[in-house]
Amino acid sequence: MQEEHPNDPLKMPPPYWEDSGALDQFIRSMEMVKYLLPALADEINKIEPLINDYHDRRDNLGDEYDPEYIEFGKITDDFMNYESSIASYADLCVLMGAISVETLINKFCVYNLHREIAETIERLTTPEKLIISSAFVGHPGVKSRAPYEAVKALTKWRNAFAHGHCIDRPTQSIHKNHLRKNTSGTRGAHVSINILTEAVNRFLCIHDYLNKITQNPYVVDVDDFEDTTKIRQILVEIQAYSFSDIEYFPYSLERQNENTEAVNQPLKVE
């Protein structure tokens, strides 16, 4: 027997919302990056004198010294693994953040729009659902504001990644997206951190906007507050790490004092 749900969203809950689990992975991927950053900073301090000595030997002995870069690879192996891990968790964070944003909007629709409307617009894209649901609760014009741009950017990233495309290149052509004259190498941790912080700020921008316009207080429940508070705290901790001399190898990575505020300001909800 099919479970009956109220047509009037403001009469809910019950029933209560069940999350897909993406938000958990979104938070956990942020936590992993937070744990990896101090390890990366320690590794940089460890290998910097070793790399300087290595280059001195090559300068003195010429290119015939370590021609296959075997010794260099041994020195930098752990460093490369940390960078690769941070890149992987940053990408996972963006992907899970984009999925979590659609979950936020779906939850908003279910608890703010009549059942028939919510079910009908479920087939639309995530940005389209934001436009319609926002207008239905008395806030038209979101398309020209930061929350819409944030949804659009996260959705574009998710679609490119989910279809196996490189996220930093145009996706209209397989050839232009995937073929390069030279290998790109490992993505620097500073790039990964920028990608992560931008995605998290976009998530928070959309979250705060929906909480601001909701007519059903359940959208802003206790669990939601705890999760977003945790996300904001982890973001500040990640942004306490400062990269410098990124044109050199290895670059510098230092943690600022405990009172350091997030460097990148969150997108404003207007």
Q: How far is CA 23 from CA 12, 87, 99, 231, in A?
A: 22, 19, 8, 10
Higher pLDDT, 181 or 196: 196
The residues pairing with 254 across neighbouring beta strands, listed in sequence order, are 242
Mean pLDDT of 215-227: 82
pLDDT-above-90 percentage for the chain: 69
Rounded distance between C-alpha atoms, residue 117 and residue 126, angstroms: 15
Tell whether the model's pLDDT for residue 269 goes beyond 70.
no
Pair 80, 186: CB distance under 8 Å: yes
Pair 105, 133: CB distance under 8 Å: yes
Higher pLDDT, 19 or 109: 109
For residue 190, the Cα-to-chain-centroid distance in whole angstroms is 14
Encode pLDDT of 145-195 as tens digits.
999 999 999 999 998 888 787 666 667 777 776 677 766 667 899 999 999
Higher pLDDT, 79 or 261: 79
Peptide bond into 49 cis (omega under 30): no
Report domain extents, the chain. 22-255
Give the helix, strand, coil percentages of the chain, each rounded to 5.
65, 5, 30
Using N-to-C axis directions, what is the helix angle for 70-112 and 126-136, rounded to 10°? 30
Q: Which two tokens stand for residue 174?
A: 């397989």
The 8-class DSSP code of residue 10 comes to: G
pLDDT confidence of 262, banded at 50, 70, 90?
Answer: very low
Pair 217, 9: CB distance under 8 Å: no
Instruction: Please give the single-letter amino acid code of residue 59.
Output: D
The 8-class DSSP code of residue 226 comes to: H
Please work out, in degrees rounded to the nearest 5, the angle formed at the alpha carbon of residue 55 by the alpha carbons of 54 and 56.
Answer: 90
DSSP string, 17-42: P---SHHHHHHHHHHHHHHHHHHHHH
For residue 219, the Cα-to-chain-centroid distance in whole angstroms is 22
Peptide bond into 170 cis (omega under 30): no
